[in-house]
Structure 1
Amino acid sequence: MICTTDRTDVFNDTPRVREVAWRHEECDLSEISASSVPVIVRGFVEDWPAVKAARSSLSDFFDYLHRFDRGAVVPISAGPAKLDGRLFYNDDMTGVNVDRGNATFTMFLDRVFKFGPQTPPPLIYLASTDVDEVLPGFRVENDLEFGDLDPLRSVWIGTHTRVAAHNDLPLNLACVVAGKRRFTLFPPDQTPNLYVGPFELTPAGRPISLVDFAAPDTVRFPRFEEAVKHAQIADLDEGDALFIPSMWWHHVEATGQVNMLVNYWWRTVPKHLGTPQDVLNHAMMTLRDLPPEEKKAWRHMFDHYVFNYNGTEVDQVPEHIQGILGPITPEVSASVRAFLRDRLDRRES
């Protein structure tokens, strides 16, 4: 067990994430989403009524959220105070260290506001759930305009929690409604130094770092010291927002008595292109264990057709038969998916 008093802050001298001070009415979100590094937007949603209620008092915030409560059944994680808020694996990594189940949002909210102010509090957590399902009508008063984009809008509510470092494919704009949040971020090239766990069995759908940031075991995870050198810290208050570029690793700690975050996930490429994670998973299965010379040959193929592709690679192929060599239209994507399904089915039979 790691208690709060046992912590060793290895991030004391870590650089802070770059800050800007735009109000969302004045900001073109394309300016933020074009950034290749994380960006803090101070006071971005400070005019949301939910933020104002959270700043007023716990009782005002409780009353405000209950205005939108329609008794939705939601997935809940719960654990004892000795976890110090950490959502992780159980001791033998066959499952998670919290109890999971469903409850009405009414019951969940009552328990968060009852036990959140305790010292230390138990872990009670609602993660990444569609805002409209949990709080219908909330976005009428608390939302951002994304133009032609249609982001996934998720809500996160709980007591003190610590979510292990992970990355996400979509772009992410995380808006703090209640409590305080610290994001510890790493660029994608720090993956080898974060000691990532299994891909299939994960606490929340994405592979996570196995390092406990509150008490890093540098004997077991010696390369983590190198990762720390590349880290950035974002300390957010109510009303602040953080933009996280695709695939940046981020550890998240919520430290208020009652914490709430609304985040927006979106991609700038068409949905029919699919997800690179599927490609990585399949490549690990089919390429990773090849003999060295074969892997070298396939590296050249990937460089030519994927990573260094500039469009001239198919000049010699007539346009009407280019298929996947040419532009990936919805029709081409559907054809390739059917082709892949057929190939995979044949190998399994």
Structure 2
Amino acid sequence: MDTSLAATTGWLLRGKDGRLTAYAPAAEGVLRWTETRPGGPEWSAPDLIPAPGILPYLCLAQGADGYVHMVGLRRKRLADGRTGTDVVYALQYQSGLAIRDWYPLGSPYPNDPALAEKIGLPSAVVDAEGSLHVFVRNAGGGVCGRSQVPSGKWNKWADFKGSGASGTVSASVTADGLMELLAPAADHIMRWEQREAGVKFERADDIPASAAPDSLTAERTGGNRLTHFWHDAGDRTVRAWRESDDTPSELGNGAGTGPVALLRTPVDGYDCTILAHRDAETGRPALAAYPSEEESSGVSWTLTGEPCVGAPALAIDARGRVVMAAFGTDGTLRVTRQKDESGLALEAWTRA
């Protein structure tokens, strides 16, 4: 497994048949582990989904239909010796089965390979109609996006403007199907939102915070609200922010790396937000939970398992248990599940 580029989370997904699948970028493709039955505990040996020329980075997006969209960046040598850069995606309809071919979406600079080579790594979301939307940091430090329409066709790349962005764009969807984009800059976080379904993005007020590049994620935490999470660019602690907040909240003193894995689920009958990240000091996965939208209640981080690479992921399995997964330093998939008892105690980690 190649983790030389930015880490991502959200790589552990449950298919329509209830089985979990883990995905990881690899040389010339994507590695995929799938539960042999819903709820596990056994997993299939990893199979390789070929993707020649794709960089060792993978963004995943899943819609209500359960289909999994894999999005990456492909570079190849052109006939004139320059490097061609394309955002590409592939679609998996069912857990563990073959996927459709990788489809090129090009870049915001179809006639300028030098500028195309400067775009950032892609992020993606699926809207309420099942259409895929992809976003990249452009060569000027702003954000560009390309959207699929319900018929399956694609609109042209759109420029949302902005400047000074670093790292990957964070894309999320509200419960009403409206998309929101965040992009970190030096001393603020740029933000775009949709006011109504089907309308163009509008620039919203910046968030007064400095986020570490490639660490932004979001979760629906109540009603039509999104809460955004990231690691502070200075002390690497986790921060949380909603549109109603004047300033971000600090969630405990656990410093981490990469993006924050998120999951909203009941724990002992209470609506909770569960977080996981890679601990900055030990490299081990760390877990935290608190009542959703009650950041003032305090958050404590608990280390678990052995050192990992990239970022951990969270999901709910077919039995309703919280599942935490991470990749060991040897590239193996490690998994732990919630015990069948009250609270959020986890079982011993196992190798898939």
Higher relative contact order, structure no. (Cα contacts within 8 Å, ≥ 6 residues apart): 1
Q: Which has the higher helix share?
A: 1
TM-score normalised over the length of structure 1: 0.22
Larger Rg: 1
- TM-score, normalization: structure 2? 0.22
